[in-house]
Every structure is written in structure tokens, then in C-alpha cells.
Amino acid sequence: MSDDPTRGLILGRIRDALGRRPEPAAVAHERIARGYTQEATLSADARVALFIERLEHYQVGVHRCPRTAVATTIAATLAARGKSRMLIPPDIDPAWLASRSEFVPDAGLSYQQLDASDGVLTGCSLAIANTGTLVLRHAAGEGRRALTLIPDYHLCVVFDEQVVQTVPEALRQLAQWQPALVTTISGPSATADIEMTRIRGVHGPRTLDVIVVA
């Protein structure tokens, strides 16, 4: 049994976790096998197509538009959803706000006020194609965590150049920014109870729309 390579691997990982190896922790970290994909293998167009495919699989409403039509696409999306009073981060791009909807800047609104709104409009920092994930670091135009998690509806604007293919790429970019807070959103909020009844909107927006800007 002592020559079993699997047993040795498991025990070695336990020693690494407990810090009982003679080498420094950094050395043990470097010994970890990383056979997963860490760099992009798809073209920019293919990355965006994969991202959209993942969103649609999650039952996200996806809308494509050029940069010149962001405001009109936002207006059309909100009209189709019947949304008329939308919350926004106070530092969102004003050029996006050309629709007839009422846009209310979040100036420290209470949780009750957030919950009573029709929804929230934000941008994001990154999007991950492999997982269909939106990454918000709550920078300009992205709002605070409560603003993006409490309203029942979220409309998010993503630009093509913000889409990376893999999670490691996103983590490396976030490490450069060193954000104090990160929220990741992969589709509308959904969970299942003990009877496997699917419930939406418990841990975030029940309905998610994404505008992907070419």
C-alpha cells in the first residue's frame, strides 16, 4: 500500500493543506497540476457567440446592438418587459438613458426602496464566455452589491471587448484591478428546495436581460 501513487498523492495534498511539508508554501503551490485551459483558444467573435449561447441556456434575454444603438436597445428592452421605473448607479453613462422610463439614481436607497423598484440597469467589468457569467466589481456604472441583488429585474450592458473565454483569464484581470468587492451573476437567480421545486429570485434578480454591444 505504501507504493500506491494515488494514496501518496492524497496524503501529499493533506500535508500541503496542513503546512507540514518542509518546502515553503509557495513551492507547494507551484507543484499543483494545472491541466485546465487558462488562455483563450477562440477568436473574439467565437467567444462572444459562446457567451450568448450560455446566456440563452440560462434563459437570459439576450439583445445584440452596435454602440450607436445602446440607448434605443435599452428603451426597447424595457418597453418589452413593461418596466417604467428603473434604478441606476449614480455614475452610469448618461448616453444610455434615452428611453421614456424613469431612471432613479441610487443615492443610498433603503432595501425596501430597492425592492419596490421595477429593476436595475447597470454595466459590468467582465463577462466569462465558458460559464456565461457577468462579473461586477462595483466600479463606475455598476452600482453597489445591494443594488444588483435586491431588485427583481436586472438589465446589464456588456461590450464585446469585455468578454473573456476562461475563468483564469477573468481572475488574472481582477487581480490587476484588486477590487474590494466582486459579484458574479450566471443567469437569473434560481434554487431548489428539498422537494426539488425550482424557485427563482431568492438570491438575486428573478429576470435577467443582457445587451451585448458589438
**Residue 80 belongs to domain with CATH number:** 3.40.50.10420
Full domain range(s) for residue 138: 40-213
**14 and 92 share one domain:** no
Same domain as 127, residue 95: yes
Of 6-10, 20-24, 162-166, 177-181, where does mean pLDDT reach its minimum? Answer: 20-24
Q: Does 191 lie in the same domain as 103?
A: yes
Q: Which long-range contacts (CB under 8 A, 24 or more apart) does 38-47 make?
A: 38/166, 38/168, 38/169, 39/165, 39/166, 39/168, 39/169, 40/164, 40/165, 40/166, 40/169, 41/165, 42/129, 42/165, 44/160, 44/161, 44/163, 47/129, 47/163, 47/164, 47/165
Residues 144 and 56 in one domain: yes
Of 12-21, 55-64, 77-86, 131-140, the poorest mean pLDDT is in 12-21
Residue 6 C-alpha cell reads as 494515488
What is the number of other CB atoms lying within 10 angstroms of the CB of residue 45?
10
Mark whether 29 and 111 lie in a shared domain: no
Q: Given a cut of 80, is residue 202 above it in pLDDT?
A: no
pLDDT at position 1 over 90: no
Per-residue pLDDT tens for 36-58?
Answer: 778 889 999 999 999 999 999 99
Mean model confidence pLDDT for the chain = 90
pLDDT at 199: 78
State whether 101 and 194 are in the same domain: yes
5's enclosing H/E stretch is helix 5-18
Residues 98-115 pLDDT 10s: 878 899 999 999 999 999
| Same domain as 147, residue 82 | yes
pLDDT at 23: 64
Can you point out the beta strands (E) in the chain?
Answer: 61-65, 85-88, 102-105, 119-123, 126-128, 133-136, 153-159, 163-164, 183-185, 190-192, 198-200, 207-213
Predicted TM-score (pTM) of this structure: 0.83
Using 50, 70 and 90 to split pLDDT, how confident is the model at 18? confident
Q: How many domains does the chain have?
A: 2
**At residue 97, what are phi and psi to the nearest 5 degrees?**
-105, 55
Which pLDDT belongs to residue 13? Answer: 77
Q: What is the structure's pLDDT at 96?
A: 96
Take residue 209 and report the three cell numbers written for it: 436581460
Domain check: are 84 and 173 in the same one? yes
Length of the chain: 214
State the pLDDT confidence band at 25, using cuts at 50, 70 and 90.
low
Residues 11 and 89 in one domain: no
Which pLDDT score is estimated for 95? Answer: 95
The pair phi, psi for residue 116, each rounded to 5°, is -85, -5
**107 and 48 both lie in a single domain:** yes
Cβ atoms of residues 118 and 154 within 8 Å: no
Mean pLDDT computed over 15-38: 71
Q: How far is CA 50 from the centre of its chain?
A: 15
Type of residue found at 57 = H
Verify that 44 and 27 share a domain, yes or no.
no
50 and 110 assigned to the same domain: yes
